Structure 1
Amino acid sequence: MLAYVFGVVLFALGICVSVALHEAGHMVTAKAFGMKVRRYFVGFGPKVFSFRRGETEYGVKWIPLGGFCDIAGMTALDEVTPEEAPRAMWRFKTWKRTVVMAAGSVTHFILGFIVLYLMATTMGLPNLTGTPKIASVSDCVRDARTDQEYVNPVCQPGDPAPAKQGGLLPGDQIVSVAGVSTPTWTDVTGRIQQLSGPVAVDVKRDGRTVPLTIDVVQVDRPVTDATNPQGPEKIVKVGSIGVTMLTNFTYNPITAFGGAGQFTADMFVQTWDRLLEFPERIPAVVHSIFGGQRDPNTPVSVVGASRIGGEAVEAGLWSLFLLLLASLNFFVGVFNLLPLLPLDGGHIAVTWYERVRDWVRGLRGKAAGGPVDYTKLSAITMVLVFLGGAVTLLTVTADIVNPIRLQ
């Protein structure tokens, strides 16, 4: 129990640090361009303490669920003093305002990469995309009518060893089976299970493609009966060659940069896919609140993420803890760039709308227009704030009454 509480607190602390650094990203870039930063606070609610250094007040508030960076004149509607007016943010060039507003998300991306790099150099990175790289080659392939027989086969003299006899080696990456490209391990197993006898298999080894011929063997395997998932497993004949997939990639401090970079790119793709799926998964969250089974792919709140982080620490799964923390940073970073107010991406969209509008007006011989009147967007902003609050309330409620658990 103590380990669980420690994990929850540690994950929540990680989120607080991420948010604080997000706001610090805005502050540092704004100061670098000469904008006036009035205040930089971590947390909300009553003030715990603060101090002033130069023209900026720094401080901490009691509720550690966010923070803010108060930049003078972020929009033309913001009140500024006569001394602040020349340095109001809205007066600066479009690209500078864009950099300042995007800096928060960029900070999340940098934090996510750092977490992945540290993982890569210490415990390795999980093979989340199912890259068909071989971890081990079995000494034999045998019939298995139970999961135990499948996991721990007792090899007998004369048993076939297709992969070993065909020349497959640990570290090889299977790129095609019988002329069909196999970008994932699922593609490899799905293809091999349908075959029998000599099969052409191409592997990538030391940067070059090596053609091999593997004699696929049909063997008995226990599988879940799709028509009766809760019943006993049924035995089917499938093709097998006797290899296992590499589940964890290891790196040295140099190669870890490339490994973490590739993993970051993969996580960006997955994050974008999750964002596109977000609206259609909300009904499942509502269903789980009223007693339905919680789908592990449904959105979670900070509360739910912290609980999972606590369970990961309790189970000793530090790689899962760190991966969850990196994933959250990527998600928040991408989500914050969506072109919707009051997100940073919404402010960036308005800024570039002004720039394109003035460019078009210039082509037509007209003077530049004034800053966008944000009051005309207030109705849309309030709707989005309401929807965001409703989704947050739903996910927090689901994470309290019916949380996603590791087991």
Structure 2
Amino acid sequence: MTTILLTLLGIALFVLGLLVSIAWHELGHLTTAKMFGIRVPQYMVGFGPTIWSRKKGETEYGIKAIPAGGYIRMIGMFPPGADGRIEARSTSPWRGMIEDARSAAYEELEPGDEKRLFYTRKPWKRVIVMFAGPFMNLVLAVALFVGVCMTFGMEKQTTEVAGVQKCVFKQSDDAGDRDACPKAQQTSPGYVAGLREGDVITAFDGEPMKDWNTLSERIRANPGPAVITVERDGRELTLHPVLVRNEVLKKDADGEPVRGQYVTAGYLGFAAKSVIEPLSLGESVDRMGDMVENGVESLIALPSKVPDLWDAAFGDGERKDDSPVGVVGTARISGEVMNLDMPTQSIVAFFLLIMATFNLSLFLFNMLPLLPLDGGHIAGALWESLRRNIAKVFRRPDPGPFDVAKLMPVAYVVAGIFICFTLLVLVADVVNPVKIT
């Protein structure tokens, strides 16, 4: 019963965090739109039926039933057609999409709004309005992530020995029972040299070792005889292991293991002890930079994940732990977090990191230069600015505002792809979820 209640609490907290993230995103659009004099009739968190709303001034603020997004409605998102009309019906389905979008942008037009239309603002102002939403998510992601790093701390490997392996195992092999060595298995250099749990490695070949990454690199780069200085029970000892070559995980430029990629390097055969320590502001920002880089790489890799997702959802494929996770999957993970056997502050930190990752994903996803995403409107405004400046340089007539509405057929296709991908992730999250435990 307690497990169920904690799971429901985790899911409820995630839904609350989701609503806050959406509201925060739309607040960026709202404040900048009003700052530039654009009329905003609606500010809504969620989609579907309205469950609560209140009108303040000229804007209706409300919450809708489905917490899967949000929006603000700005007057005049698209310029009038070439004939100057806002609405003109057409038998062409593609043309109909364009005209429907243009008509919706003016459906709440009131007297005096002619000078308060979105499309009449200079391109740089429109860029700010559309960028402000994703930027708010980025601000929240940075604040949460850096805050966790500097207060709760992050896991960091040290030069203290947490355990010594008896045998040499390739890291690509199944872990199995690594305490039981087959007769033909080579004994690990660390075990032979007398390395023990609790030893702190202070020097390698006479060079002081103050952090794990430096020690790891020295071990990897120097197979063969080595001199290792350790501190044990307040005494300094010197060990003489002969490092062997072994298959180990590849490391990236930041010293982090690269999942599924292996190299042959020097091997000692011990596990480093991990501790959780608060990071400095500089270290936290560096970690945030790594998080952004990983997020960009994950976004680029999304198309390549579709076959594995399909197999996980409709076949007997394994759901990989780096598989894309949707709102349902993230809510499920949040429920699992609440049941982890960890101190309360660690659970809080874990949950905040989930929300930081979610907000970073919202930022990166919305910055894609595709309609109906914010990045698509930003791209349209930048293109308009470019062609107007080119016309000015070559003394050509002003081409006028770029009609983003003409891209609506493409936007529907993109939206359709997004919906299909979201449904695929949803099915995978339900039938074959990613589990942190």
Judging changes above 3 Å, is the alpha-carbon distance between structure 1 residues 121 and 49 closer, same or farther for their aligned structure 2 residues? same
Judging changes above 3 Å, is the alpha-carbon distance between structure 1 residues 165 and 274 closer, same or farther for their aligned structure 2 residues? closer
Judging changes above 3 Å, is the alpha-carbon distance between structure 1 residues 246 and 191 closer, same or farther for their aligned structure 2 residues? farther
Please give the TM-score of this superposition, normalised by the length of structure 2: 0.73
1:312 aligns with 2:334: no
Aligned with 2:125 (options 83, 96, 112):
96
Aligned with 1:283 (options 281, 300, 307):
307
Supply the distance in 2 between the matched residues of 1:307 and 1:124 (Cα, whole angstroms).
24
Residue identity opposite 1:31 in structure 2: K
Residue identity opposite 1:266 in structure 2: D
Residue identity opposite 1:294 in structure 2: R
Judging changes above 3 Å, is the alpha-carbon distance between structure 1 residues 170 and 53 closer, same or farther for their aligned structure 2 residues? farther
Judging changes above 3 Å, is the alpha-carbon distance between structure 1 residues 126 and 30 closer, same or farther for their aligned structure 2 residues? farther
Q: Which residue of 2 aligns with 1:266?
A: 290
Aligned with 1:40 (options 35, 40, 43):
43
Judging changes above 3 Å, is the alpha-carbon distance between structure 1 residues 191 and 110 closer, same or farther for their aligned structure 2 residues? same
Residue identity opposite 2:412 in structure 1: M
Q: Unpaired segments of 5 or more residues in structure 1?
A: 128-133, 178-184, 200-213, 225-236
Q: Which residue of 2 aligns with 1:210?
A: none
Deviations along 1:342-399, one digit per CA (max 9) or x if unpaired, are: 1000000001111101111122222211222334312211110110000000000110
Supply the distance in 1 between the matched residues of 2:271 and 2:207 (Cα, whole angstroms).
9
Supply the distance in 2 between the matched residues of 1:10 and 1:87 (Cα, whole angstroms).
39
Supply the distance in 1 between the matched residues of 2:152 and 2:310 (Cα, whole angstroms).
37
1:387 aligns with 2:411: no
Please give the TM-score of this superposition, normalised by the length of structure 1: 0.77
Residue identity opposite 1:35 in structure 2: I
Matches within 5 A, 1:3-402: 3-76=6-79, 77=102, 78-79=105-106, 80-127=109-156, 135-138=158-161, 144-145=166-167, 147=178, 163-164=201-202, 166=204, 171-172=210-211, 174-175=213-214, 185=216, 187=217, 189-192=219-222, 194-198=223-227, 217-218=241-242, 239-240=267-268, 244=272, 246=274, 248-251=276-279, 255=280, 257-290=281-314, 291-315=316-340, 316=342, 318=347, 319-402=349-432
Q: 1:35 aligns to what SS in structure 2?
A: coil
Judging changes above 3 Å, is the alpha-carbon distance between structure 1 residues 287 and 188 closer, same or farther for their aligned structure 2 residues? farther
Measured after TM superposition, the shift of residue 306 of structure 1 is 1.1
Supply the distance in 2 between the matched residues of 1:383 and 1:360 (Cα, whole angstroms).
31
Supply the distance in 2 between the matched residues of 1:356 and 1:222 (Cα, whole angstroms).
55
Supply the distance in 2 between the matched residues of 1:172 and 1:221 (Cα, whole angstroms).
22
Q: 2:126 aligns to what SS in structure 1?
A: helix
Judging changes above 3 Å, is the alpha-carbon distance between structure 1 residues 219 and 373 closer, same or farther for their aligned structure 2 residues? closer
Judging changes above 3 Å, is the alpha-carbon distance between structure 1 residues 63 and 71 closer, same or farther for their aligned structure 2 residues? same
Q: Which residue of 2 aligns with 1:234?
A: none
**Counterpart contact for 2:164–2:196, Cα < 8 Å:** no
**Counterpart contact for 1:162–1:216, Cα < 8 Å:** no
Supply the distance in 1 between the matched residues of 2:335 and 2:125 (Cα, whole angstroms).
40
**Counterpart contact for 2:309–2:424, Cα < 8 Å:** yes
- What is the aligned-residue RMSD (CA, Å)? 3.6
Measured after TM superposition, the shift of residue 174 of structure 1 is 4.8
Judging changes above 3 Å, is the alpha-carbon distance between structure 1 residues 311 and 158 closer, same or farther for their aligned structure 2 residues? closer
Measured after TM superposition, the shift of residue 260 of structure 1 is 2.9
Supply the distance in 2 between the matched residues of 1:388 and 1:61 (Cα, whole angstroms).
21
Supply the distance in 2 between the matched residues of 1:393 and 1:154 (Cα, whole angstroms).
54
Judging changes above 3 Å, is the alpha-carbon distance between structure 1 residues 143 and 123 closer, same or farther for their aligned structure 2 residues? closer
**Counterpart contact for 2:141–2:360, Cα < 8 Å:** yes
Measured after TM superposition, the shift of residue 258 of structure 1 is 2.7
**Counterpart contact for 2:165–2:270, Cα < 8 Å:** no
Judging changes above 3 Å, is the alpha-carbon distance between structure 1 residues 11 and 286 closer, same or farther for their aligned structure 2 residues? same
Q: 1:37 aligns to what SS in structure 2?
A: coil
Measured after TM superposition, the shift of residue 314 of structure 1 is 1.1
Supply the distance in 2 between the matched residues of 1:49 and 1:376 (Cα, whole angstroms).
34
How many residue pairs were aligned? Answer: 359
Report the identity percentage: 30
Supply the distance in 2 between the matched residues of 1:19 and 1:188 (Cα, whole angstroms).
47
Judging changes above 3 Å, is the alpha-carbon distance between structure 1 residues 369 and 169 closer, same or farther for their aligned structure 2 residues? same
Judging changes above 3 Å, is the alpha-carbon distance between structure 1 residues 44 and 138 closer, same or farther for their aligned structure 2 residues? closer
Measured after TM superposition, the shift of residue 81 of structure 1 is 2.8
Q: 2:288 aligns to what SS in structure 1?
A: helix
Measured after TM superposition, the shift of residue 74 of structure 1 is 2.2
Q: 1:22 aligns to what SS in structure 2?
A: helix
Supply the distance in 1 between the matched residues of 2:51 and 2:42 (Cα, whole angstroms).
14
Measured after TM superposition, the shift of residue 63 of structure 1 is 2.0
Deviations along 1:122-172, one digit per CA (max 9) or x if unpaired, are: 320245xxxxxx624459x9772475699x98997999x793465677743
Judging changes above 3 Å, is the alpha-carbon distance between structure 1 residues 158 and 189 closer, same or farther for their aligned structure 2 residues? closer
Deviations along 1:258-311, one digit per CA (max 9) or x if unpaired, are: 333222211110001101111001110000112221112221110011111211
